[in-house]
Every structure is written in structure tokens, then in C-alpha cells.
């Protein structure tokens, strides 16, 4: 089924009292929308399934202020894309991320914090209530495994963005809301523990079967991703309870996916991001979006099921009738440096980047936006294939986000194999062979290059930059090409090494905590 999160509105009230200083007075003051509460709701398997849908639901939240799509924000923070948009005053909060001049009151920062703690709160509530549920043990085990996977998913993004965050594992009473920040190690170890435990009871199926629900293979890949970031930034292994997660164990998990999961590369790279390929053989983990439940409310965008990223990134077409794209808002314009990184014979360039000269009307059919490079994302864009059939058009794009692709699994395995045994070149060669490129030696530099090209504009580059050189990585994006429009200063990005790439703790949360939460370094 395309959308696993239908009819979640009745669950919105659940879990809101459980996420510490991230709680919001406007929610606490609301009258419940029906007679169900956390005290009388969790009784049956049907209740638990609905609650689990509510946890999944948070994955897809986005809006035009404060909840912009996470992959797009990460691309903008990296050297692969600029903020873009209409003009210098259009999306200033995203421009702050682009120029690495993020203020603690930035709405995107506040939105990222709140979104992830909403998801964590819902997972915590469900996990606590499972003990008294009238259900079979198999159902309980499977549901607990999914909830732990999702909690780990939310915490991984949260701790990578902010580094110093409260670690909350149970619903909290109001007197407990003011929680201190945990050490990064404590958070990462808990992520590893949740994933190791989830792996045991999650199904060994592909997304083609599970249709968007977590699988054993997704948990194994997410654990490897967690390990590689933590090892790169902090130089240590993870401790998942009594289990040490080191490079060898992470590689073993990836090799299990490669050998036993049934996942594989699609024959044609250009087909990966087409609608027919959703939940396909290459997708180890996807976040599902849908246009099946048309949405109209600009005041509560994340109440719908649509993906805002295509609308944000689509070209500013004047007359869509002659084009293959609907008019978008030209955010996250790709850089010249990214375009030039592809070889001329690499088909991934055309599948990744839409060039203005490829449009039927060319540049003449474009409204020129800010930081116009002549390039747009091809992977998450306003292709008419995905054009919403009903509802407010901008709010109902159904493009699923391919969060973990099998190609990523192969490249993680290649990187870990360099230092933990295994044939790194086999994994690297398979990725290159799919697009007709000859083998190259499996060096770290070559694997880094391959990750950038294979996974470009999918939200992974920024995390890779941080883990490869956490404290000193420059993000140069000053190459101005012939199609660029604007002053050169619009394209000069200076990375602030003092902040180590982490975002500021939201000022609103510091204020609510009365100083219990401390600002991050460099802010």
C-alpha cells in the first residue's frame, strides 16, 4: 500500500506530554479531539497499530516554515547545493544554513528539534503501553521492534544535527520536562542498542513486501550508518548494551544485507527515482508520502501526507504546458562544483541534475530565482509524473524519499572493508558497473568520490563531510559557472569550523529550560 499512515488524526493527541522541554503550550491547552486518552486508549492490537502509525507519521512532517524537508536542508548545508528560492528575502532561514551563519532562533532549527522529539515521544509512549496490551507475544515483539527502530531513526538525525541533546526514553510527568543534555556517547549507544534489539524481531523482508514498514535490513543498514558517523566524528566504537558495535560488526550487518536480503541495484540508474520504483528492489528504507488523501490547509501542512521537497526544488517554470515539469520554487540549486564532479560519460549526472538548457523552452521559460545556477534537482522535482491529482497542488506531492538505497549499503561496505577485512573493490565495482564505468582501485578517496556521485542530492553529503573531517572540513562553493545569475558574493560560502558542523540548540528551548540546556560550541 502506498501510504501506511492514513487516518492518523485521532492519534495526534497521544504522546505530546512526553518529550521534555520540547513540549508546546499551544498543544497542552487544547481540548482532546475525542474521548480517548493515553490512559484508556492502549488496550488492543488495533489501538497499538494505530499508535504505531502515529509514530511513522512524524517521519513525513514538513511545512514551509520550521519543518522543511531534512534531505534538502542537508544538501544546502553541504557543497552540493545553494539555498536558492525566489530572492534574497525569500527563505532567509535556509540561507543561514547555506552560508553557515545559523542563528539560534532560526525556525528550521526549532522545527527540526520539535519534529524529532514529537516522534521520540510517540515511540516512548507506545513502548511503555505495550506491557499492558491485550495482544499476542509475536505482535508485541514486532511492534516493539518497529517502535525502537523509529526511535533510533529520530535520535540519529537529532544527535547528528545538535550533538548535545536530552536522552528521553520514557514518557515524562510535567515535573520532569526539564531534562539536561546527555553526552553524545550515551545517545549513540542507545541508538545502537535500539537497533540491535530491533533487528532480532523485525521481518526479513524487502519494502516490496512490507510497503514502507521497517525491516531487519533497514535496521542493519541504519546501524552501520550510525556506527560510521560516530566512529568518524568521535573515533570510538558503539556499545549497544552488552554488545560492542565496531567496524567488523557493522560490516557483518552490511554483508548480511548484501548476501541474504534480496535487495539489489536496479539495472537503470535513471529509473531509481521514478514512481514505479517506489518500494522497489533497491530501496532498503523509504519514507512514504502520498497524494491519496488530498490536503488543502496551508496553516497545518504537516497534517497532510505530501512531500514538500519536490515543490521546493522544482524549476520556476513560466509556462508548464510545454514542459515535463510543474512550476516549483527553485530551492536547493545544485552547484557548478557538483555538476563538474561527474564525468561526461557518467549517466548519473543527467539522472541527478536537470539543466535549464534541457527544458523545451530553455532559460526563456524560467522565472530566475536567487542563486540561480542553471541547475535543478532531477531526483526530487516537480515532474508531471508525480503531479498531484487533487488538493492544494503544492502540498500533495507523493514522491517517496529513498532514505537508504542498496547502493549506499554497497558503498558503506566498501569503506568498512578497507579497515575490517573483506573485498572493498567488489562492492565499489558493482556500483560503478551499473552505470557502465570501469573499475577503479578501492581507495578511500575513490570511495568518497563515488559516494558523492552515486548519492548526490539525497541528503547524505553533509553527514559524510562531517564524519570524514569533523573539525576542519571546508565547504567550498565559489565556482561560478556561465549560467549563474547574481553577485559572486551570493555564492561564497565560508564554513565555520568552530561549530564543528553542528546546529545551534534552539534559543526557545534554552529559554524554556531556564538554562538547563547549554548552547553548542561556536554559538
How does pLDDT run across 108-139, given as a tens digit for each residue?
A: 999 999 999 999 999 999 999 998 888 999 99
What is the rounded distance in angstroms from the CA atom of residue 260 to the CA atom of residue 254? 10
CB contact at 8 A, 110 and 508: yes
DSSP strands (E only) in 206-322 = 238-240, 243-245, 283-287
DSSP strands (E only) in 324-449 = 353-355, 375-377, 401-405
For residue 244 the three cell numbers come to 560492542
Q: What does the pLDDT read at residue 14?
A: 36
How does pLDDT run across 94-103, given as a tens digit for each residue?
A: 999 999 999 9
C-alpha closest to that of 163 among 503, 522, 517: 503
Angle at 185 between CA 244 and CA 497, to 5 degrees: 125
For residue 443 the three cell numbers come to 581507495
Q: What is the pTM of this model?
A: 0.93
Low pLDDT (below 50) residues in the chain: 1, 3, 5-28, 471
For residue 420 the three cell numbers come to 575490517
For residue 325 the three cell numbers come to 515539469
Q: What does the pLDDT read at residue 486?
A: 86
What is the rounded distance in angstroms from the CA atom of residue 378 to the CA atom of residue 401? 13
Q: What does the pLDDT read at residue 15?
A: 37
Amino acid at each position: 500500500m502506498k501510504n501506511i499512515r492514513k487516518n492518523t488524526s485521532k492519534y495526534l493527541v497521544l504522546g505530546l506530554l512526553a518529550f521534555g522541554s520540547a513540549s508546546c503550550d499551544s498543544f497542552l491547552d487544547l481540548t482532546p479531539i475525542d474521548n480517548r486518552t493515553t490512559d484508556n486508549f492502549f488496550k488492543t492490537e488495533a489501538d497499538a497499530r494505530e499508535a504505531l502509525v502515529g509514530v511513522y507519521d512524524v517521519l513525513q512532517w514538513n511545512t514551509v516554515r520550521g519543518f522543511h524537508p531534512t534531505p534538502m536542508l542537508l544538501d544546502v548545508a553541504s557543497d552540493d547545493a545553494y539555498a536558492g528560492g525566489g530572492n534574497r528575502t525569500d527563505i532567509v532561514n535556509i540561507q543561514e544554513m547555506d552560508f553557515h551563519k545559523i542563528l539560534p532562533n532560526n525556525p528550521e532549527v526549532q522545527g527540526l528539534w520539535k519534529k524529532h522529539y514529537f516522534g521520540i515521544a510517540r515511540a516512548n509512549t507506545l513502548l511503555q503501553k505495550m506491557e499492558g496490551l491485550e495482544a499476542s507475544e509475536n505482535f508485541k515483539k514486532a511492534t516493539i521492534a518497529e517502535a525502537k527502530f523509529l526511535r533510533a531513526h529520530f535520535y540519529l538525525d537529532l544527535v547528528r544535527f545538535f550533538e548535545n541533546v536530552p536522552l528521553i526514553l520514557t514518557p515524562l510527568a510535567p515535573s520532569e520536562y526539564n531534562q539536561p543534555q546527555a553526552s553524545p556517547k550515551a545517545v549513540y549507544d542507545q541508538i545502537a542498542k535500539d537497533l540491535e534489539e530491533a533487528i532480532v524481531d523485525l521481518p526479513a523482508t524487502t519494502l516490496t513486501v512490507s510497503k514502507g514498514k521497517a525491516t531487519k535490513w533497514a535496521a542493519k543498514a541504519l546501524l552501520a550508518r550510525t556506527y560510521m558517523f560516530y566512529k568518524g566524528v568521535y573515533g570510538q566504537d558503539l556499545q549497544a548494551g552488552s554488545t560492542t558495535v565496531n567496524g567488523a560488526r557493522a560490516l557483518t550487518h552490511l554483508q548480511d544485507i548484501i548476501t541474504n536480503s534480496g535487495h539489489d541495484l536496479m539495472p537503470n540508474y535513471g529509473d531509481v527515482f521514478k514512481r514505479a520504483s517506489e518500494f522497489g528492489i533497491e530501496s532498503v528504507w523509504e519514507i512514504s508520502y502520498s497524494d491519496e488523501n488530498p490536503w488543502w490547509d496551508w496553516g497545518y501542512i504537516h497534517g497532510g501526507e505530501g512531500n514538500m521537497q519536490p515543490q521546493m526544488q522544482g524549476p520556476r517554470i513560466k509556462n508548464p504546458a510545454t514542459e515535463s515539469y510543474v512550476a516549483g520554487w527553485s530551492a536547493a540549486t545544485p552547484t557548478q562544483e557538483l555538476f563538474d564532479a561527474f564525468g561526461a560519460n557518467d549517466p548519473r549526472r543527467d539522472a541527478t541534475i536537470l539543466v535549464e538548457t534541457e527544458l523545451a523552452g530553455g532559460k526563456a521559460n524560467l522565472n530566475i530565482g536567487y542563486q540561480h545556477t542553471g541547475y535543478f534537482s532531477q531526483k526530487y522535482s516537480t515532474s508531471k509524473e508525480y503531479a498531484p491529482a487533487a488538493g492544494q497542488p503544492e502540498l500533495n506531492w507523493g514522491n517517496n524519499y529513498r532514505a537508504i538505497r542498496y547502493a549506499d549499503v554497497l558503498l558503506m561496505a566498501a569503506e568498512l572493508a578497507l579497515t575490517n577485512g573483506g573485498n572493498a573493490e567488489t562492492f565499489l565495482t558493482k556500483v560503478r558497473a551499473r552505470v557502465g564505468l570501469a573499475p577503479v582501485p578501492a581507495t578511500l578517496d575513490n570511495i568518497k568520490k563515488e559516494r558523492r556521485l552515486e548519492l548526490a542530492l539525497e541528503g547524505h553529503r553533509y553527514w559524510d563531510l562531517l564524519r570524514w573531517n569533523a573539525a576542519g572540513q571546508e565547504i567550498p562553493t565559489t565556482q561560478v559557472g556561465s549560467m549563474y545569475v547574481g553577485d559572486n558574493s551570493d555564492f561564497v560560502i565560508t564554513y565555520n569550523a568552530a561549530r564543528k558542523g553542528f546546529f545551534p540548540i534552539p534559543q526557545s528551548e534554552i529559554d524554556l529550560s531556564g538554562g538547563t540546556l547549554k548552547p553548542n560550541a561556536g554559538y
